[in-house]
A and B are shown apart, each in its own frame.
Chain A
Amino acid sequence: MTKKRKRQDDFQKVKLKVGKKKPKLENATATNFRTKTIHLPEQLKEDRILPTNNRKLNIKDLLSQMHHYNPGVKQSALLGLKDLLSQYPFIIDAHLSNILSEVTAVFTDKDANVRLAAVQLLQFLAPKIRAEQISPFFPLVSAHLSSAMTHITEGIQEDSLKVLDILLEQYPALITGRSSILLKNFVELISHQQLSKGLVNRDRSQSWMLSVNPNRRLTSQQWRLKVLVRLGKFLQALADGSSRLRESEGLQEHKENPHATSNSIFINWKELANDQQHIQVYENGGSQPNVSSQFRLRYLIGGLGNVDESLTSSESLKGFIEIIIPLLIECWIEAVPPQFATSVGNGIEREPLQVMQQVLNIISLLWKLSKQHDETHKLESWLRKNYLDDFKHHFMSNFPYTLKEITKHRRKDTNKSVKYCTILFNNVDHLLLNLTLSDIMVSLANASTLQKDSNWIEMIRKFVTETLEDGSKLNSKQLNRLLGVSWRLMQIQSNREATETLIKAVYTLYQQRGLILPVRTLLLKFFSKIYQKEELRSYRLRNRSRVLSRWLAGLPLQLSNLGSRNPELSTQLIDIIHTAAARANKELLKSLQATALQIYDPQEGTMVVLPTESQQRLVQLVYFLPSLHADLLSQLSRCCIMGRLSASLAVTLIGILHMRSSFSGWKHSLKDWLLSDMDYLSFLFSTLAGFSKEELTWLQSLRGVPHVIQTQLSPVLLYLTDLDQFLHHWEIAEAVCHSLLVISSRRQSFDVLQNAISKHLVGLTVVPDSTVGCVFGVLCKLLDHTCAVSESLLPFLASCCYSLLYFLLTLEKGEAEHLKKRDKLWGVCVSILALVPGVLKLMLQSLRVNRVGPEELHVVGQMLRLLLQHAPLRTQMLNNAVLVQQIIKNITTLKSGSVQEQWLTDLHYCFSVYITGHPQGPNALSAVY
């Protein structure tokens, strides 16, 4: 019984009643406690050796966390790595190999967040690592990339494209080096190989089919679009790279290309003469080895032997084209189903349009690549044979339709709002699409097949002409295509009417105002290309296009109207004008002559407002001007002296005019250099004077300004120029002097100079010091035994000389600016006194010391002493000994009242040493007394 009871106790049924609380079980777990996670955001220990990030983790910790099983840890490690590397960029260099091997390994991680972090890290790293730094590790990077691209998980495939984007942007050369694998990956991304037996070996092109994967997040069209965009980018990089390579290789094909020389040396003579530069023309001439060789015995990419042959050979390119073009056509058909295309009135959606655009873009890039490998046009004819019909059928049948629909579509949009339209079309460009298509098609045609293709070529031609004529809103990319197509059309159909209409259409576009710079540049380049092509034909065959010559003749006016607004454009214009002028193009020279006065205007002409390089070209252009008349020369001289043209350029200009003048050539050479001697000489003189007539008359009214030096003994006042102006003037005067020196009949040129001086300078009361100095310098150099200084000039020279000497002696130490002039001015003063005895005599005669104040007396005394001490002057001074003695006597009498000063003692001493002490001196003196 007890047993039974006990049992009942044990198995007593708990009765649960509605409304009452359920009794607690004995073994129930208490859940009323709270847990808290222990969070270790940072380590306690400070690492002394390696720099750490915010969480005090160093690079080793972070990299080792990359192998953690938990995706969260991995992600945070990647973020931490980014943090660390942005703080301490030098770690990148030290640990590049580890970082890259770990980071690239997670491209194929299963977790999307980890991949995202890895991509972000790569995005951050890529700009900081130079291409040559990463190149040893690039095989690894690209291996991980291609394993990600071929991964069976769609997410990884999608993310791999982002990685590719980054690499393409930063390392185009490296990534295109692996094109063979990557291109295959691209194909596999959007298609699969058909393995039905009948087709495997027969035809490669049929064995690939577009694949449709319903599991993707995206529609397969979107996915294809994504892949195609990347493929387009990749091919673009490939095309750019190989064209760059080609350009550096040498230029047998394009002889006219002036920029293709890569390794020429440019030397400036001045630096060479100062031993600052050394020429080593002959690469292998010396004992030093050539270190910049590209040769590698073995590339670092162990197993991949076929790196080089990716798309660089025409065979492999052909293979790729065979695979990809059927796929692209399939894409196209999917985007624009034939039955849909024929129904007019429906606009093409944005997405298919994008697909179409990418398809065409890829094809045109392939064409471009094929052209680079195609020396013999073999590939071109192959392409034509295989694909012309397909293209005509699929693309060209819709060509006008496409246009129509799109215009319709656009009109619909413009009805709604303009803004909406621009948003919709910001990256879908129907015009570009059409142009790309025309580009592809046109490149398939050539002159010999013109008859067969005439119908669709006419279509394209009409389209191109129309687009050009209303092409105000073209951007540079579209225009580039457009001009490419027009160029090709011109080449295909080279009869005159056809080209003339095209050129005319381009010209109407060119004449529009407000074109942006790249567009304008492209148009200019296009025209200059046509011009050059036309020039290449021999004389008799040249049939000039009228539009072209009108364009050419308009250039100088454009240049002068452009002013300083756009120096780059001006440079291009000048280049073209220069080329045409050098080739003696009649129309251009005529219009250049007409606008020369505007271009070389000293106030705001093109020449003075542009930067130095353009100025130089313009200066050189002077050589080609058919006639240099007096007005132009006076403007040029103003340009020279106003200082807007640097001294060296001014010297160049003077040299060029010398070459144009009759003094440089051979006596019997052609007389058609229309530069009269009179104009040339007056140019030289006005450049020498350095100041225009107006400026000089303005100077005459200046009195009592600190810049004007006045003396009591000389009627000529000296105007002090700035040091810059002075030096500029001096340098130019030297060039002028040289030009005068080389004129064969010295006497005549000297007389001309004298006349000019007496006509324009004598009679002035205020004269600039630089002018006086330069005139003196030129006179001294020109003077030889055949010439004589006219009497009328002497008083002016003498008073100028005195003024100059007075200025030099009163110069104070403080005036650093003028101190630099001293040597030069002193030199010319002394040499003119030595060479022309009359000047010295007149100057001494004018020293009527009784009329001057005590300060100037002091100066006169000092001057006499210096002149006495100067050795080359000594004989001249001896001849004038009487005068000198008289002056000294006067000074002494004037000074007798006060204490005898040091300078007077010095003067007496010098006089006694140099004049009285001289063997002839006393005799001469005694003879006089």
Chain B
Amino acid sequence: MAAPMEVAVCTDTAAQLWSCIVWELHSGANLLTYRGGQAGPRGLALLNGEYLLAAQLGKNYISAWEVQRKDQLQQKIMCPGPVTCLTTAPNGLYVVAGIAESIYLWEVSTGNLLVILSRHYQDVSCLQFTGDSSYFLSGGKDCLVLAWSLCSVLQMDPSRIVAPRHVWSRHTLPITDLHCGFGGPLARVATASLDQTVKLWELSSGEMLLSVLFDVGIMAVTMDLAEYHMFCGGTDGSIFQVDLCSWPGQRERSFPPDQDSGKIFRGHRNQVTCLSVSMDGSVLLSGSHDETVRLWDVPSKQCIRTVTHKGPVTNATIMLAPISMLSSDFRPSLPLPHFNKHLLGAEHGDELRRGGLTLRLGLHQQGSELSYQERLEQLQAVLSDSVEKNVLGGQDRLQLHVTELEDEVCNLRKINRDLFDFSTRVITTTRRAK
């Protein structure tokens, strides 16, 4: 296959025949269906290309399927409360879920519940990781968007209250969706809210770059990979396209098209709930409360395909098909462990039963075991050692060093002088030749 295949993964609330359907993006051919439960909004995530996780709507468990075994539910991950949103780290090491107003973070390799973050004051509505898994963002019904650094969250120190890297509090009504752009810690984050605005933030500095005010509340937002356009789905079913790079000059040259159709995708009859753009930015997938999933051509803003569901669509995402989805004889590299319901280190019965040595896999965990503080101290110790040795310890060696350097300086001066003489000679001779 020349290019990686892109598939659309959709879920709806009815879930009569299947709870999740996968179809090929361009041909529309059904590839797979997964059965069991109704996935909630912003509750579908692919873990490591091997497992498909779906937070159940209004129920307190997450269903997990092995991607190639479509008919069988692999595991039900029980949670302390109804899961409102769910996401996984792109490197496949962590699962994050919003349960009521707290954020739960599990380690995939062990299934331990590492940390519970409760900085939101109301239900968490959306969660997303940055592309390099170094940060994750959470938006809630309390109008706050928080940006968390994964490393600082994972530093286990019970005395310390984990603080988010940024708190963005300029929305005035609940956050409905957020989208994190490309670029890891330098990414830009778009947040949508019922207060009829979409705001674009810079993750590195925490500053707000842009705020767009619409006529209707915005329920979904996404950007294409190059971040040329931002797509915002409104409560009235229209999808607005905001061009992030446009010059007045450019506009004047082109023949003005019909203004309305130039910026809006029209077709949905009810609120848009989810949006996703393909890798090349040419196709937009949208799901709506009107029980349809629509595929749009971005340049011409026409609807290419409409897929009718039996209930309001909860998730519709475009993703690269993992290998496991296409070959049936694929086996996951690791079995999915039992996800723990209680915080690691808390006094609970099931903790004792496990016992034994916890061995953490993957490079990232090794890093996280040694905190940055400790590493910094080590580094400082090494540095101060060498300084002591060089400056305080050996006076004579220092002398030697100084003379060496002085010689070097003399040498450099000489070379410089030579170079100067040479160039002047060249220049003057050429003059004369002329």
Closest to B250 in A: A278
**Complex contact B170–A270 (CB within 8 A):** no
**Complex contact B194–A659 (CB within 8 A):** yes
Complex formed: what's the CA distance from A664 to B121 in Å? 22
**Complex contact A583–B214 (CB within 8 A):** no
Complex formed: what's the CA distance from A260 to B201 in Å? 13
Residue interface mask A652-696, B partner, CB < 8 A = 1: 100110110000101111100000000000000000000000000
A-B contacts, 26 of them at CB < 8 A, read A252-B205, A252-B206, A255-B167, A255-B206, A258-B169, A261-B207, A269-B213, A272-B242, A275-B251, A275-B256, A278-B246, A278-B251, A281-B209, A282-B244, A539-B118, A541-B161, A582-B122, A582-B142, A623-B173, A655-B235, A656-B194, A656-B217, A664-B271, A668-B38, A668-B59, A738-B236
**Complex contact A623–B215 (CB within 8 A):** no
**Complex contact A264–B58 (CB within 8 A):** no
Interface size class of A (residues with CB under 8 A): 35 or more
Chain A residues whose CB sits within 8 angstroms of the CB of B366 once the complex forms = none
**Complex contact B172–A578 (CB within 8 A):** yes
Complex formed: what's the CA distance from A530 to B236 in Å? 40
Chain B residues whose CB sits within 8 angstroms of the CB of A288 once the complex forms = 247
**Complex contact B269–A742 (CB within 8 A):** yes
Chain A residues whose CB sits within 8 angstroms of the CB of B270 once the complex forms = 741-742
**Complex contact A264–B211 (CB within 8 A):** yes
Chain B residues whose CB sits within 8 angstroms of the CB of A268 once the complex forms = 212-213
Using A255-B206, A539-B118, A742-B270 as known contacts, say yes or no to A582 and B143 having CB atoms under 8 A apart. yes
**Complex contact B246–A658 (CB within 8 A):** no
Complex formed: what's the CA distance from A582 to B121 in Å? 8
Complex formed: what's the CA distance from A667 to B213 in Å? 29
Residue of B170, B215, B263, B290 with most partner-chain A CB within 10 A: B215
> Separation in Å of the B244 CB from the closest CB of chain A?
5
Question: 10 tightest A-B contacts by CB?
Answer: A668-B58, A583-B121, A264-B208, A269-B214, A582-B143, A742-B270, A267-B212, A261-B208, A668-B57, A278-B246
Query: Cβ of A648 < 8 Å from any Cβ of B?
Result: yes
**Complex contact B242–A667 (CB within 8 A):** no
Using A267-B212, A282-B244 as known contacts, say yes or no to A258 and B264 having CB atoms under 8 A apart. no
**Complex contact A279–B246 (CB within 8 A):** yes
Query: Cβ of B262 < 8 Å from any Cβ of A?
Result: yes
Complex formed: what's the CA distance from A278 to B245 in Å? 8
**Complex contact B167–A256 (CB within 8 A):** yes
Residues of B bordering A, CB below 8 Å: 13, 38, 40-41, 57-59, 118-119, 121-122, 141-144, 161, 166-167, 169-170, 172-174, 188, 194-196, 200, 205-217, 227, 235-236, 240, 242-248, 251, 256, 259-260, 262-264, 269-271, 289-290, 311-312, 314
Residues of A bordering B, CB below 8 Å: 250-252, 255-256, 258, 260-261, 263-270, 272-275, 278-282, 285-286, 288, 535, 537-539, 541, 578-579, 582-584, 617, 620, 623, 648, 651-652, 655-656, 658-659, 664, 666-670, 738, 741-742
**Complex contact A269–B122 (CB within 8 A):** no
Complex formed: what's the CA distance from A122 to B251 in Å? 49
Chain B residues whose CB sits within 8 angstroms of the CB of A281 once the complex forms = 188, 200, 209-210, 244-245
Closest to B257 in A: A275
**Complex contact A251–B206 (CB within 8 A):** yes
**Complex contact A258–B170 (CB within 8 A):** yes
Complex formed: what's the CA distance from A538 to B159 in Å? 12
Complex formed: what's the CA distance from A658 to B236 in Å? 11
Complex formed: what's the CA distance from A5 to B254 in Å? 126
**Complex contact A273–B263 (CB within 8 A):** yes
> Separation in Å of the A272 CB from the closest CB of chain B?
7
Which of A255, A648, A742 touches B215 (beta carbons < 8 Å)? A648
Complex formed: what's the CA distance from A742 to B273 in Å? 14
Complex formed: what's the CA distance from A742 to B211 in Å? 28
Chain B residues whose CB sits within 8 angstroms of the CB of A541 once the complex forms = 161
Chain A residues whose CB sits within 8 angstroms of the CB of B196 once the complex forms = 652
Closest to A539 in B: B118
Closest to B165 in A: A255
Complex formed: what's the CA distance from A255 to B146 in Å? 11
> Separation in Å of the B418 CB from the closest CB of chain A?
31
**Complex contact B194–A583 (CB within 8 A):** no
A281-B209, A582-B142, A738-B236 known; 20 new pairs, CB 8 Å cut-off, are A250-B206, A255-B167, A260-B207, A265-B210, A268-B213, A279-B243, A280-B247, A282-B245, A535-B121, A578-B172, A579-B169, A623-B194, A651-B215, A655-B216, A666-B41, A666-B58, A669-B57, A742-B269, A742-B270, A742-B271
Closest to A742 in B: B270
Chain B residues whose CB sits within 8 angstroms of the CB of A282 once the complex forms = 227, 244-245
Chain A residues whose CB sits within 8 angstroms of the CB of B212 once the complex forms = 267-269, 272
> Separation in Å of the A782 CB from the closest CB of chain B?
12
**Complex contact A264–B209 (CB within 8 A):** yes
> Separation in Å of the B328 CB from the closest CB of chain A?
33
